[in-house]
Amino acid sequence: MSAPGEKAASELPQRLWLNGRVLEGRKDFERALENASEQERPVLEFGLRWCSDEPEMVLHTSGSTGRPKEIRAKKICMAASARMTVRRLGLRAGDTALLCLPMDYIAGQMVVVRSMLAGLRLVARRPSRRPFEDLARAPDFAALVPLQVLSTLEHEAERSLLAATREVLIGGAAVDRALAARLASFPNRLWSSYGMTETLSHIALRPLSGPRAGVWYEPLEGVRVSSSPRGTLAVSAPAVGVSLIETNDLVVFEPGSDRFRVLGRTDNVIDSGGIKVPAEALEELIGTVLESPFAIAPLPDPELGNSVAIVVEGTPDLPLPDFRALLRGAGLSPYWKPRSAVFVERLPRTRTGKLDRTALREAARSAPGRFRRAL
């Protein structure tokens, strides 16, 4: 039974403008499936599930920090999440929305829900690294992962379309310092999003462009955040069905404010001989001087338990920065210095573009000796 003021699942909007066609209700989605294109089919299949009388949807986590799992989410909560985003971004009926994320996960699904709730004109594309390729004009709204943004920046015409997109959400993985610096001068509004499948997409946004660009995430309306006894972020968002959830993300709060900065995940802290090395903080620092894609991973060590390794896309002759000098210049512990480098053809990532930390650790451990270098 729905709470007071809530709509039943069957009463939620079911009208979708998809690639130039207006579909409304189960029968329209079924008919459209008969001759659907490759990029439209997963949208229509999602639409059928949304139009059913079932009050919940089955969602899947990305598996970036462990095994993927199923989560059941109320449709009314997904609709509430969509409204929060629409209000924050000022999206209006008739705006165009680019869908270029996989429909297997919450990020892509919520683009569709926002489109139905706000009357957006959905442009569905096959997920790829270059979502603006062959687009004739910029959409009003787009949700991307950092890999897509990086690829877009390498092509002038596509970069121009990105800059002309009024509202851009970047999520699924962290936006590092180097990428944030490249986006800071863009004329449109770009946001780094913070959230997870359990919170039905993002619950906070960090401005990446404009006068408010910086490191602080700003909670959406109706979201309460605090610090847990472990120093991790705790989230309460009743509208999306989250009474209280404690994350594994270490955070600091801006004094006197609910704006927060993410330092890294507790499960990505490497204990090396008693020295706690936060992998993500070290990656952020190294990313200011190393252009090749890389990540920090632990390697088993008979003396230290674990040693710090840098896993780099490239060959063993690739020049690396002076890590000791870099740490000294940043006022950080010299014991954070990577003791070895492992070279791989490509860093392992999930389908949503997140770094797959579990696969990364295995790749670091199993790399042949000729692809390793002592530092």
Query: Could you give the CA distance from residue 332 to residue 346 in angstroms, rounded to a whole number?
Result: 29
Q: Give me the pLDDT at residue 68, please.
A: 67
Domain limits at 322?
Answer: 273-374
Neighbouring CB atoms inside 10 A of 305's CB total 13
The confidence score (pLDDT) of residue 69 equals 77
Same domain, 48 and 171: yes
Q: Report whether pLDDT(138) > 60.
A: yes
Please report the pLDDT score of residue 4 as a whole number. 39
Say if residues 161 and 138 touch (Cβ distance below 8 Å): yes
| Residues 305 and 186 placed together within one structural domain of the fold | no
Q: What is the CATH classification number for the domain harbouring 156?
A: 3.40.50.12780
> Cα angle vertex 284, ends 278, 289, to 5°?
130
Q: What pLDDT, on the 0 to 100 scale, is given for residue 1?
A: 37
Clarify whether residues 28 and 174 are in a common domain. Answer: yes
Token output for 321: 């920065």
Task: Name, in order, each residue with C-beta under 8 angstroms of 41's C-beta and a sequence gap of 6 or more.
Answer: 33
Sign of CA dihedral 324, 335, 347, 147: negative
Two tokens, residue 97: 């929305």
Check residues 82 and 176 and name the one with the higher pLDDT: 82
Kindly report the CATH number assigned to the domain that includes residue 341.
Answer: 3.30.300.30
Lowest mean pLDDT among 161-170, 234-243, 283-292, 349-358: 349-358
pLDDT at site 205: 98
**Is residue 137 a part of any domain in this protein?**
yes
**pLDDT (tens digit, 9 = 90+) per residue, 173-229?**
888 888 899 999 999 999 999 999 999 999 999 999 999 999 999 999 999 999 999
Q: Is the dihedral of CA 164, 185, 155, 313 positive or negative?
A: negative
Q: What one-character-per-residue DSSP string does 295-345 give? A: EEEEEEETTTEEEEEEEEES-TT-----HHHHHHHTT--GGGS-SEEEEES
What's the CA gap between 275 and 40, in Å, rounded?
A: 50
CA 153 to chain centre: 18
Is 70 part of any domain? yes
For the segment 147-174, what is each residue's pLDDT rounded down to a tens digit?
Answer: 899 999 999 999 999 999 999 999 988 8
CA distance 268 to 223: 26
Same domain? For 183 and 40 the reply is yes
Cα separation of the two ends of the chain: 62
The pLDDT tens digits of the residues spanning 104-137 come to 989 999 999 999 999 999 999 999 999 999 999 9
Distance (Å, rounded) from C-alpha 120 to C-alpha 17?
Answer: 7
For residue 173, give the 3-state DSSP assignment: coil
Final residue of a structural domain among 232, 264, 296: 264
Residue with more model confidence, 8 or 105: 105
The answer to whether position 228 is within a domain reads no
Give 158's contacts (C-beta < 8 A, 6+ positions apart): 130, 132, 133, 135, 152
Residue 66 has pLDDT above 60, yes or no: no
pLDDT tens, position by position, 313-327: 999 999 999 999 999
Do 161 and 279 belong to one domain? no
- 216 shares its domain with 280: no
Both 210 and 95 in a single domain? yes
Domain boundary among 264, 287, 318: 264
State the average pLDDT for the chain: 92
On whether residue 232 sits in a domain, the answer given is no
Q: CA 288 to CA 99: how far, in whole Å? A: 31
Query: Are 132 and 43 members of one domain?
Result: yes
What pLDDT, on a 0 to 100 scale, did the predictor assign at position 174? 83
User: What's residue 5's pLDDT?
Assistant: 41
Q: Is 14 helix (H, G, I), strand (E, B) or coil?
A: coil
Q: Is residue 236 part of a domain?
A: no
Neighbours of 21 (CB within 10 A): 11
Q: Does position 8 have pLDDT exceeding 70, yes or no? A: no
Residue 209 lies in a domain: yes
Asked whether the beta carbons of 347 and 340 are under 8 A apart, the reply is no
Mean pLDDT over residues 41-70, rounded?
84
Tell me the pLDDT tens digit for each residue of 262-271: 988 888 999 9
Structurally, the chain folds into a number of domains equal to 2
Q: CB-based burial of residue 208 (10 Å sphere; 0-12 exposed, 13-18 middle, 19+ buried)?
A: buried
Residue 231 lies in a domain: no
In this predicted structure, the answer to whether residue 65 has a pLDDT above a threshold of 70 is no
pTM above 0.85, yes or no: no
Q: Is the pLDDT score of 60 beyond 90?
A: no
Report the amino acid identity of residue 119: G
Report if residue 247 sits inside a domain.
no
pLDDT above 70 as % of the chain: 95
Same domain, 324 and 182: no
Is the pLDDT at 63 greater than 60? The verdict is no
195 shares a domain with 54: yes
pLDDT tens-digit map of 343-356: 999 999 887 677 89
- Per-residue confidence band for 62, with pLDDT thresholds at 50, 70 and 90: low
Q: Write down the pLDDT at residue 265.
A: 87
203 and 119 in a common domain:
yes
Task: Tell whether 37 and 116 lie within a shared domain.
Answer: yes
Query: Which of 264, 289, 321 is the last residue in one of the domains?
Result: 264
- The pLDDT score that the predictor gives to residue 21 is 94
